Structure 1
Amino acid sequence: MAAAMETDQFPCVLTVQVPFPTARLASVALQSLQVDKELPPASDANTTGDQDKTLHVEYRATTNRMLRVAVNSFMESLNLVIEVMEHLDADVLAAEAHST
């Protein structure tokens, strides 16, 4: 019953899966991007990481517009996290050194 009410409250859903080179980088991205608990009632997000080096994000919103705004904001934040990883993270620098 609770799942049905949640689906009714947030009928627009999008799941995004972002692969990373290592599980540690996926975990860093997860910690950086996790949504604060003070979400407005118009949207909800669930972010998880797992051992297969993939960041899983599920967005739920009351309207497609709210979903688009939330996902666009997430993508901008994800881009920033990845840029910082490219410049500062030891795993990324090591992977680049091995590929050249």
Structure 2
Amino acid sequence: MAHQQLDHSFPCSLTIDLPLPTARLASAALQALRVDKELSPLVCRSFSTIFPFEGGDGSEETVLRTEYKATTNRMLRVAVNGFMESLSVVLGVMEELDVDVLGVEAKEG
């Protein structure tokens, strides 16, 4: 596990790991979400896909990781709230239109 150094100009941080059914969906979500730039210079955000921590075979990067850094907790909260709205739209479209998501739902149902 990599050691993160404290960035004194951006002391508030949050990492969000979102497991998705396939690496293709994780990559598609990353591409869709990275298009929108952060509106404030007081917030930094980065996206990546990673291997799942547990479960699954671990052979594909199926987890979308979003890392936020901000100057204040308030700026972090505002940025993450906006991200969650965008994420909800992306996941809703995947649920409605993507065959991989529909296949997982059929197996679970």
TM-score, scaled relative to structure 2: 0.78
For these two proteins, the number of residue pairs brought into alignment is 97
CA distance in 1, matches of 2:87, 2:37: 19
C-alpha root-mean-square deviation of aligned residues, in Å?
2.1
Equivalent AA in structure 2 for residue 64 of structure 1: N
TM-score, scaled relative to structure 1: 0.85
In structure 2, relative to structure 1, the CA distance for the partners of 1:68 and 1:7 (3 Å cut) is same
Kept after mapping to 1: 8 A contact 2:38/2:44? no
Which residue is equivalent to 1:55? 64
Q: Which is richer in helix?
A: 1
Note the residue ranges of structure 2 that are not aligned, 5 or more in a row. Answer: 51-59
CA distance in 1, matches of 2:7, 2:105: 43
Quote how far apart the aligned CAs of 1:60 are: 0.3
Which residue is equivalent to 1:90? 99
Kept after mapping to 1: 8 A contact 2:26/2:61? no
In structure 2, relative to structure 1, the CA distance for the partners of 1:30 and 1:87 (3 Å cut) is same
CA distance in 1, matches of 2:47, 2:29: 10
Quote how far apart the aligned CAs of 1:36 are: 4.6
- Give % identity: 56
Kept after mapping to 1: 8 A contact 2:38/2:45? no
Match of 1:66 among 51, 72, 75: 75
**Mapping 1:6-25, distance limit 5 Å:** 7-25=7-25
